[in-house]
Structure 1
Amino acid sequence: MSVPPAPAAPGSPDEERPSERLRGPVVLRRERQQELTTTDQRLLDSRGLSDWVHTDPWRVLRIQAEFVEGFGMLAELPRAVTVFGSARTGRDHPEYQLGRELGGALAKAGFAVVTGGGPGTMEAVNRGCSDAGGLSVGLGIELPFEQGLNPWVDLGINFRYFFARKTMFVKYSQAFVCLPGGFGTLDELFEALTLVQTKKVTKFPVVLLGTEYWGGLYEWLKGAVLESGKIGEKDLALVHLTDDIDDAVKVVNEAYRAWEEAH
């Protein structure tokens, strides 16, 4: 619809207000007014290309659907620990066995285990949890190469968007445990640390399992990053570095009990 120019207010410069069209809550002015179709018309007219499926407004609904689906599936999840690690770890690698043992230990301690649901270390953790009778959860992601959920996922969902998936990792976990991994694991590790540092989340520790792999990163944080004042002592203390699965589970248990007492 067209809106006539508003009269100039007393004492204001004598400038005309540009004409405009309203499309729901959206205001279109100048050359942007040239779109002649209405939202209802575009909805009801089934002819033409299907490019509308890939437009940003439609993506908002897809994003909303992912959050609704994720929240609905995980709302009744018992206490859980999210474990990150490489998709490239072979089944004959010692880190695969480490993942299986960690998944089993967490299950025996009464925690569900949440991973990215893929192969490698993620599969190992899901497998160990499932073998120990725990609830094994996988949150997959759509990738250019085929991955899919590993066969030891008991409860799984695939996401299109990394940020929606990351929200589920954080919202329904009491701790993060990172086994050796690449860019994806590093991304998830530092996002977790940032959320804890800024008190966006307050209920979980971050454990790095594997001193040989993670030791260099920890020393860099302790040296270059801490000594230059980019983080504080309290920030460094957010990271727990260990080789011992029992120690990792103990840290998770203690943090969960502290959180329970505070709530």
Structure 2
Amino acid sequence: MKKIISVLLLFIIIVNLSACGNSGDNNSNQSSEQELKTLKVEFELPEKADVDETVELKAIVTYGDEKVTDADEVEFEYWEQGNQEKSTTIEASNNGDGTYTAEVSFGTDAVYEIYAHTTARDLHTMPKKTITVGEGVNNEQEAESHEHGHGEQADVFGMHFIEPEDVKVDEEVELAVHLQLDNEPLRDARVRYEIVSANSEKHHWVETEESSPGEYSASFSFDEATEYTMTIHVENDEGLHEHEEYTVVVN
């Protein structure tokens, strides 16, 4: 009788261990499937257009094999090449089928650069394309293109700082920036915020953490009601060193 009970207990233990193993495999498979899913944006626009011609900008958004019909935000930001500080941003219309579109026209002969800023599934991506309008580059752009056109084509670096709104003194605010290199999230970079008050030369250096692929964030509280200059410094082990300057107004 004792022998039978022992055999039964051994059988039950083996069954339980097998079930746990299968459960672990399932969890592992589910985790792997989650890791394989990425946010992708196919950005469509013509290569050329006439001055003042209406042009459609289209972003096709997918997450893994799934069409994203409920993106949190899709915006197109465009500017004349060499003048990104004078960019224009327009919100895209959600067509309900995973596509997001907007219509624009360009008023001068130039090469324009355009980001398709897309936020969905707690991720952000911003593919970049160019369009030649009219006769294209002006003399200044052509000279710049010739000057930098020798050798291999440089990697395309992109930075999108999410500017905080209604910032109050001594209230903690999250500062976040999205980075890309060649239209892919820039991972494993060292990103720091250098923050300087208009009333002081004191520099605050704030280290960030990569909260999701290509997104770097940190919390900070501003101690004066004034204008702050914030420079975002980006470096990585491959020799990348970029920085851009922004302004944050604190009330």
Same fold judged by TM-score > 0.5?
Answer: no
TM bracket (short chain):
under 0.3
Say which structure is richer in strand: 2
Say which structure is richer in helix: 1
